[in-house]
Structure formats: C-alpha cells, structure tokens
Structure 1
Amino acid sequence: MRPDDWHLTEDVTEFLAYTGEFLRSRPVLHIMPLTVTARVRTSGATAHGTQAPVFGRLERAGEVLATFHRLPARGLGLTPLTSEQASTLAAHLAALGHSLPYVSADDHTATAFAKAWQRHTGATPTLRDRLRLYRLGTLTPPDPLPPGRGRLVGERDREHLMCWCREFAADVGETVVIDSDSWPGTRFADKRYTFWESPDGTPVSMAGMNPVVAGQIQIDPVYTPARLRGRGYAAAVTVEVSRAALAEGATAVVLFANAANATSNALYQRIGYFPVTDFAVYDFAHAEPEASGWLAGCVTDDRCSRVTVTETHSAPLRRVEGSSGAASRRGRRG
C-alpha cells in the first residue's frame, strides 16, 4: 500500500463525490463519517473553526477502500482499515508533519492506527473508551413502562434542554459552552429531542435523535439526571424516540453504548437493539497543535481541488465541542 493511494481534500462536496457510494454501501458501520459530512455540508466548513476540515480516501484502481475525516481541533475518524493500511496512513500523516489528539474507529482499526502512530511519531496512545454500536431489530417496549409519557421537546423547553445537555457533556467529559448564544453552533442543536415526563408533567429523562442520513437515524444523546436513575426512564425514553425514528421511515436506527457498562448494554438488548461492532478511542500524549493547515505540504492529485447503571450515552468522536462531535469519555448515561 503506497502513501499516494491516499487522496486528501478540504472540500466535502468533492470528497462525497468520490466516496458517497462507498459510505452508503455500509451505512450503519459508516454512521460517523456520514453524520460528520452531512453536518459540514449543512453548516459550512467555517462553522467548525478557523481551519478547514480535512477528508481523505484510500483509492486503488478507481475503487474506494476506506476514508478518514477530521474536524479542526478534533481527532481522526476512520472507516475500517487493515493493519497495513493503518500503518501507511499513519506514516503519510506523520511525514506531512501533522499531530493528532486522538483516533476513533472500530476496535481493530483504532488499535492498529494507535500502534502505528506511536511508531511513527513517538506519541503514546492511551485507551479512552470502548463503545458498542447497536442497531435496532424488533422494538420491544418494557412491560410495564414506568409511570408517565413521552413528549416532544419544544421551544418552551429550551432552557431545560440546554441545562441537561450541559450536565450530559460534563458527565462524559466534553468541554463545551452551551448557552443561548452558543447553542446553534453546538452539535446538540440539530437534533430532535423527546422528554419522558412523570405523571405530573415533570421531565425525568431525555433522548435525542439525529437527522436522517443515508436512510438511518442515530439516537444520541440519552440522559437521565443522577438523582432519577434506576427507575426505567432511560428505557422508556429510548423506546419513545426509537419509535419516532421508525415512524420517520428510517431503514436503520442505531446508537452507541459504553461497552464496559453491562447494565446499559443489557437494557438496549432488552428493548430490541443488537450489537454490530465495538469502537475504540485512543488519546495521544504530547500531541502539539499543528502550526499550519492540515494540507500544508500535501501534494494533491489531479482529482483533488485541495489537496454504572451509568445512564449517559453518546457517540464516538466527542471531546472538544464546537459543532459536530467526537467520542464521549465514558459512553452513555440514560
């Protein structure tokens, strides 16, 4: 595998022109790059920081084999790679002089890349998270459900919603400012939320769902305040929002859970979700911010315009927050 098999660009439209069919061929496994690229297309590259996002594709003989993406100040997100492919990419990015705060991918790919990055840069990888990707099979509501009902979150709930999103972010280790001014630029803003309310109308749990991408909907986040956990509210609100996703015509409904949290994993399986694969997130020590753009020094090809019942739940690639996200520090809480 040669380094020049990797083609880099800052243009999301160009990237998707070459990789869209590949990403849609396995939409569940590729949920993160599909979500990130959809957000960049909607919000624009400048919404994610002063530097442009960067996207890459591995292509041989006209066939796309893998992709990566990175938003400013974020880590690297990868589709599945062989160990050889991961090593070639690590060597290529290191040779261009770039640094990475973390990598997120399926477990094999993330581990292979973390080892390769250490070999090529000396940066020490530390496992931060193992997350399990689930897909909904047959939705099976708990019987009985906890007292109360589901309700769509409206504009009048904005302050309550922002408060819970702040609490959720703090629980999973995200650095994020969430207030009335910053809200539109956070990754939380483009979701549709549901509250589970107690019989007296008090919200006791929430779940969000992302917009449809490639026919599928990701449930994220799921959150229950600590004082209200262990009462079945997370299961109830997850069922409610999963049902709403199916009603929208989603061909697949997915979510991530902390792989180490036996209780939440059992909960999701009881209500009809089945595991697809595990993801891992590795932080890299001593990563310094790059002094110039991601593509500095990159030679482009002629097709590139440039070159625990813990009940908190989130998705890979959440750490420093400005708009779209990176992996949570401890998985999900509901």
Structure 2
Amino acid sequence: MELRFFDDPVLFLDVAADHLAEQPVVSTVVSGVANRIAAEAAEGIAWPEGVPRWFAVVGDGEDIVGAAMRTAPFGSYPAFLLPMPEEAARLLARTLVERDEPMTAANGALPAVQVFCEEMAAHSGGTVRVGQHTRLFELGDLVEPEPVEGRLRPANLDELDLVLSWYDAFMADADEQAGRAPGESPHESLDREAMTRRIEGGRIFVWEDTSGEPVHVTAASQPSYGVSRIGPVFTPREHRGRGIASTAVAQVSKLLRDSGEQACLFTDQANPTSNKIYEALGYRRVVDMANLRVE
C-alpha cells in the first residue's frame, strides 16, 4: 500500500478526482477545502504562516482507497480523514510519526479516524478521547416546514461584523448545548477578509423579520463535485422558538437543489434538537464522524 503527500491542492485534486467524485457527499470537506485553497492561491491569497498543509492519498497502485488532509488553521492543526481501510489509517499515522509529525487531534470518518488516533496514541503512550461526535446528512426529499414571517436574503457587506459575531457565537453555543466546556471544540475563526470574500460570493444568507432586522444566519459552501455543505446555522437566543432556523435551512436547501447542487450538512450528535430538525426537513444520515484527541 502506497501513501503519497501533496502540498499543491491542484495536484492532489488531479490525482484524487475519481476517488473524491465517487462519493461526493462523503468527501465534501476534503474536496471543498482543496478547491477553496486552490482558488485563493490563484487570487494571490497567501497561506497562513506557520500553519501546516498537506493532502494525501493512500492506495494500492492506481487504486486509491483513502484520502486525508492537514489544513485546519486552528487548535493543534488536526488532520481530517475520509473513510479508508484500517491498514491505510495505520500507515498514515506511522508515516507521520516517522517524519517527526506526531499529531494530537484528528477529525473525520469513523472508524478510520479512531484507528489513526489509536496508532498515534500507541506511539506516544497516550489515550484517545472523543472531543465531538458529528453526523453527516444529505438532503433527500425536501419537506418544507410551516411558513415563518420574514424573508431569506443574501447577507450584505454592511452586516459583516454582525455575521462574524454570529459565526463565533455558533460554536460557543454548540459547546454549551452539548454540555462541553467553553472552547472545547476548536474551530476556524474567520477574519474580516475571509468573511468579506464569503459574503461577496453570495453563499451567506440572513433571515430578516418583518421589521427588516436580521435575526438568523445560514451559510452554504461553494459546490465541489456538485455538492454544497450547509453551515453554520445560527439564531440568537432571543429569536429562537419561532421556526426560523428550519425555514431558513429549507429555503437555502431549495436554492441549492434548484441550482443543481446536492445539499448536505453536519450535526453535533450531542444536540438531539438539531438532528431532529434536519431529519424533519428530509435530511438522511450518511456517515458518523468524530473529532478525537490524543492526550
């Protein structure tokens, strides 16, 4: 079994295209991030100094059986693994140790990420702990909820600070609802330039109430292999309980579907409310994932 690393996302996508396209919903994070980094590099946007970056494929000759990446610009820079055989996950972990790149966190599909982290723990004498269990859903037949007063519209640049604050509040709120300590789930915090690009790209939507006040945000990633990922989805506490999130996600899902894209999203398994909401809209389970730590 052979393991190949790539620094250039374009070369990685050239090699891994067929593998990623075979299950485009499952591969959405890896293919989406690789495409975004490639597009930003073409625009002259520099990679953050000190943040490691690689993409990898593992397989038997030309038969690729798994892919992974290390591009997260937060925490201890965790890796992300797509489904792969246990042998491939162990090979990836051992190779990283051999090149003096031991890792203390990884995210991705189970059981591959569990095997990867256990191999890392065996090297360091540590233990593996679950930071967060997530679940990937894809949209089946959309079930539209009861209508809510107000309307969905693209966010505008005048709302940049508001949307930035909602992005930060999203993860803090997710930790609180799941009973985790504040900051337990490390995540990317967008700067003003990155948020500006996303708003200008027309993939961030707000729900405004009948007075014109924005009261909710739902975002969607740029499509990769025809799949777009919805999230974050956030409603400030004082506006909850009115069905805004369900209606906004349903309308964004419909926009994506009508443009020929397949919609998917992740949920926190520790938050039964969000899982129930999305399943009621017609989202169906695809694969379970986890954010694991080696301590």
TM > 0.5 fold call = yes
- Kindly indicate whether residue 13 of structure 2 is the aligned counterpart of residue 16 of structure 1: yes
Aligned to 1:261: 271
Aligned to 2:223: 212
Selected match of 2:148 from 146, 149, 173? 146
Aligned to 1:95: 98
Q: 1:216 to 1:102 in 2, by over 3 A?
A: same
SS of the residue corresponding to residue 15 of structure 1 reads: helix
SS of the residue corresponding to residue 46 of structure 1 reads: coil
Per-residue deviation at 1:119? 0.9
Q: Deviations over 1:9-52 (max 9, x none)?
A: 21222212211111111101111111110111011283243455
Q: Which deviates further from its counterpart, 270-279 or 94-103? A: 94-103
Letter in 2 for 1:222: V
Per-residue deviation at 1:114? 1.5
Q: 1:21 to 1:84 in 2, by over 3 A?
A: same
- Identity among equivalent pairs (%): 26
SS of the residue corresponding to residue 238 of structure 2 reads: helix
- Distance in structure 1 (CA, Å) of the matches to 2:137 and 2:220: 14
TM-score by length of 1: 0.77
Q: Which deviates further from its counterpart, 85-94 or 26-35? A: 85-94
Assess if the C-alpha contact under 8 Å between 1:169 and 1:176 holds in 2. Answer: no
Assess if the C-alpha contact under 8 Å between 1:94 and 1:121 holds in 2. Answer: no
Aligned to 2:178: none
Aligned to 1:200: 211
CA RMSD in angstroms comes to: 2.3
Assess if the C-alpha contact under 8 Å between 2:52 and 2:77 holds in 1. Answer: no
Per-residue deviation at 1:125? 2.1
Q: Deviations over 1:83-107 (max 9, x none)?
A: 2221222111111111223111112
SS of the residue corresponding to residue 47 of structure 1 reads: coil
Q: 1:218 to 1:244 in 2, by over 3 A?
A: same
Unaligned runs of 5+ in 2: 175-182
Selected match of 1:244 from 225, 250, 255? 255
| Aligned residues between the structures | 279
- Distance in structure 2 (CA, Å) of the matches to 1:222 and 1:198: 16
Higher helix share: 2
TM-score by length of 2: 0.86
- Distance in structure 2 (CA, Å) of the matches to 1:194 and 1:236: 12
Assess if the C-alpha contact under 8 Å between 2:58 and 2:67 holds in 1. Answer: yes
Q: Deviations over 1:67-86 (max 9, x none)?
A: 11102552111111222221
Per-residue deviation at 1:177? 5.5
Aligned to 2:232: 221
Per-residue deviation at 1:247? 2.2
Q: Which deviates further from its counterpart, 77-86 or 234-243? A: 77-86
Aligned to 1:63: 63
Q: 1:50 to 1:109 in 2, by over 3 A?
A: same
Q: 1:274 to 1:203 in 2, by over 3 A?
A: same
Q: 1:30 to 1:191 in 2, by over 3 A?
A: farther
